[in-house]
Amino acid sequence: MIKSSKPLPAASLHIVLALLEGELHGYALMRRVGELSDGAVKMGPGTLYGTLNRLVDDGLIIETTDRAAHTDTERRRYYELTPTGRAVALSELARLQMLVHRVAGHLAGGAPA
């Protein structure tokens, strides 16, 4: 099996998970990340924009140029997952699912792994 790279840092993780639902711009991403955890996770601009650039550099997301082009007055920058980014997001999701399932399962029934 292909050795998957290390888990994404928290901010990157939340961003790619949010982007599984479709392209978003930075500010919307900030809100969405908060919504997905009922406000438990609050990502400020300092974290957001730096992380966004890192994700672009790492090839996990790209800025969707079409959208930016198609309105003149648009300040928003939309981002979407690359195929790689999507794979990473799904892999991270699976990791979380497994973690949650195992811990919760252990609590419920004391069922062995």
**Residues 102 and 113 sit within 8 Å (Cβ to Cβ):** yes
What residues are paired with 25 via a beta bridge?
78
**Residues 66 and 74 sit within 8 Å (Cβ to Cβ):** no
Amino acid occupying residue 35 = E
17-36 binders of DNA (CB under 7 A): 25-28, 30
Contact set with its own copies (CB under 8 A) = 4, 6-7, 9-10, 17-18, 20-21, 35-38, 40-42, 93, 95-100, 102-104, 106-107, 113
Q: 62 forms bridges with which residues in the sheet?
A: 80
CB of 96 to its own copies, least distance (A): 5
- 42 is an interface residue for DNA by CB under 7 A: yes
Task: Locate all alpha helices (DSSP H) within 1-113, ordered by sequence.
Answer: 10-19, 26-36, 45-57, 65-70, 83-109
List beta partners, residue 79.
24, 63
Residues within window 47-86 making contact with DNA, judged by CB under 7 A? 47, 49-54, 73, 75-78
88 binds, among its own copies, DNA, none (CB under 5 to 8 A by kind): none
- Given the rule CB under 7 A, which residues bind DNA? 6, 9-12, 25-28, 30, 42-47, 49-54, 73, 75-78
